[in-house]
Structure 1
């Protein structure tokens, strides 16, 4: 999300530098649950559609892809355009935030990948309420949780790429740093040709830490009960069965 939180910078670089990693994560985290879905799947914060594509490929049910950021939604629709007509027919793209989408009792699985950490507490609570409304009785929610606390200091940079496109190398450095009560994730993107830096652009994501106990409490407040997640890097909750 640039310094304005719009993904205006990152959308250009996202798939090139992160798609393969995100696809592997999505397959490991969500494919098993998607295969068991029988009604529909809710993809909260679909981004460029990497998770959406995995959900479509591993399930036979409709998918509701919620993506309010125009830059990411453009990439999502471009990805959907490359899929077969049968898969595209199973996707509904929602261009508004989930709490404004009005989805009620539509899904037996909801997933949120790489999004919950970027919601401020009020929006996060509104999102839980909207997910609870969208889930059928017994429906499952899976998401990767926010960091549980602020880092003590700026963490060492993580390198993404480089990836070659013609004569150019695309890369990014990701740095996480504490800032007041937030974690700031700063992406510095570079395009290099030989020894020359053609472009350098930066975008900052704000992330709100939330310990597991707080997440469980928030989920209980909307009627979702924490359950054992299928992998250690996920958080899971269920809507009560009838």
Structure 2
């Protein structure tokens, strides 16, 4: 099975292989800003809800979780169902793109984790505009940086797992390659039992590199001023106070 970019393959394996790493990253990257939020937080591309859960736990404000992919949203809602009543009352799931959600002046913090690199340049520019519209004056945007260049050939990125469930071992190999002017990242998932391969599935995602200078120009064009980020793996921009 080999699909491209709709998460129908990856959703099954995502939390098992990536949740703990992603949770640690989210706590380091976003918990401080979330604790300072006073109105609401926008989670752009909430995925299976790992970041959403961190934002809810470290803040006391409403969270708007935007996730258009049905497979990931199913996992997101399952995760939210396990939370306490107070946290569930503070989170709203938007089952469409940010542009379709039409959020206006609702949040003083927006985060986008593992999202921006997966947007083509035109969609990325629209996303900045929609984030700017969703932020209150003085609101802050935090996101992780896309790669700055393209791979020269097929490269191994690394491996996720293995993680044992009963008799089975789950793992994923990640590669990236140049593909029609973009970077294509391929996840090959495997389930093995007693050394034998039970099943294998692949899903690929296109990634659009962009240097920080270009991102800064796009953000400024959308009315967001680049500011110092809390970490070297993040970029930050703020909507002016007036």
TM range (shorter): over 0.9
Distance 2:157 2:146 in 1: 19
Shift of 1:85: 0.6
Shift of 1:207: 0.4
What is the match of residue 133 of structure 1? 133
Distance 1:117 1:157 in 2: 16
What is the match of residue 149 of structure 2? 149
2:155 is paired with a residue of what secondary structure?
coil
2:132 is paired with a residue of what secondary structure?
helix
Distance 2:21 2:235 in 1: 19
1:156 is paired with a residue of what secondary structure?
strand
Shift of 1:4: 3.1
1:83 is paired with a residue of what secondary structure?
coil
What is the match of residue 168 of structure 2? 168
Distance 2:39 2:154 in 1: 44
Q: Is the 8 A contact 1:146 1:209 kept in 2?
A: yes
Gaps of 5+ in 1: none
Distance 1:141 1:121 in 2: 18
Question: Is residue 86 of structure 1 aligned with residue 62 of structure 2?
Answer: no
2:173 is paired with a residue of what secondary structure?
strand
Question: Is residue 178 of structure 1 aligned with residue 170 of structure 2?
Answer: no
Shift of 1:154: 2.2
What is the match of residue 101 of structure 2? 101
Distance 1:145 1:126 in 2: 17
Residues 126-159 of structure 1: per-residue CA shift (max 9 Å, x gap) = 1111000000001000000111111223222401
Shift of 1:106: 0.3
What is the match of residue 217 of structure 1? 217
What is the match of residue 202 of structure 2? 202
What is the match of residue 7 of structure 2? 7
Q: Is the 8 A contact 1:3 1:205 kept in 2?
A: no
Q: Is the 8 A contact 2:3 2:9 kept in 1?
A: no
What count of residue pairs does the alignment treat as equivalent? 241
What is the match of residue 36 of structure 2? 36
Deviates more, 1:164-173 or 1:175-184: 175-184
Q: What is the TM-score when the length of structure 2 is the normalising length?
A: 0.98
Shift of 1:117: 0.5
Shift of 1:184: 0.7
Q: 1:218 to 1:157 in 2, by over 3 A?
A: closer
Deviates more, 1:180-189 or 1:65-74: 180-189
Distance 1:225 1:169 in 2: 46
